[in-house]
Amino acid sequence: MKVRLNRYLSMCGVASRRKADSFIAAGKITINDHTENNLGNVIDIEKDVVRLEGRIITPESKRYLILNKPSLYLTSLGKEGNKKTVRELIAEVPERVYPVGRLDYDVEGLLILTNDGELANKILHPSYEVTKVYRANIIGSVSDGTIAQMKKGIELRDGLAKPDSIRIKKRSKDSSIALVSFHEGRNHLVKRFFAKFGHPVAKLKRVSVGPIRLGNLPSSKWRDLKANEFCSLSQAVGIET
């Protein structure tokens, strides 16, 4: 299989393609013991030996995790001041896995992490309509009439927000619990959607992404995707397994 050198370095978890280009330009990369400075060079990953400053570079094994992100954690792998990040929760994972999308700082629930860029991109792309389901604790008793209006959607500042599905799971005098799903990933979409109807969100948790369910995974804990889950998720975005 032949790929561009910068893509190969990215596949190996060395760096982003842009950073890989800087390594190549600086003469830090050798192919079969010859220094390579051509940014557009293509290699055969089954035959060529690639080294970064003398160290042989090989592709990382693919890893697929789900994490039950707690509230008050950033969906980030870098340092963000004094705030905790999900990096701390997956510290023992040796592969460089990345969050697929994000959850707000105060939102909890299902987060997929992987080093499989193709799968991640397809999960996030709206054309594949991978539905994300949220359990929202909202302020106020939501009437059946309001639910009917919500199903039709409502204009937000960045366009129409129309849920794929919505239903009330529990209702009391002062609050309601709703299950709502969207296949879009706009910032604060669920919160803005309910607020537009006069029912602010008090607590929000993502419970599924496509066929992947959070289930009873404890808060702050992670696990690898099961084989059947991986197959179902891949099929949902058109990847053959």
Residue 204 belongs to what H/E stretch? strand 201-209
Residue 78 belongs to what H/E stretch? none
Extract long-range pairs of 84-89: CB within 8 Å, 24+ residues apart: 86/111, 86/113, 89/220, 89/221, 89/222
Nearest-angstrom CA–CA distance, 80 and 76? 8
Please say if 104 is a catalytic residue.
Answer: yes
DSSP letter at 115 equals: S
Nearest-angstrom CA–CA distance, 166 and 142? 12
In this structure, the number of other CB atoms found within 10 A of the CB of residue 42 comes to 12
Q: Which of 33, 104, 106, 174 is catalytic?
A: 104
In this structure, the number of other CB atoms found within 10 A of the CB of residue 47 comes to 9
Q: To the nearest 10°, the Cα dihedral for 204, 208, 210, 215? A: 180
Residue 127 belongs to what H/E stretch? none
Q: Are 137 and 109 in contact (CB under 8 A)?
A: no
Tally of CA atoms within 13 A in the half-sphere of 39 that contains its CB = 9
Give me the active site residues, please.
104
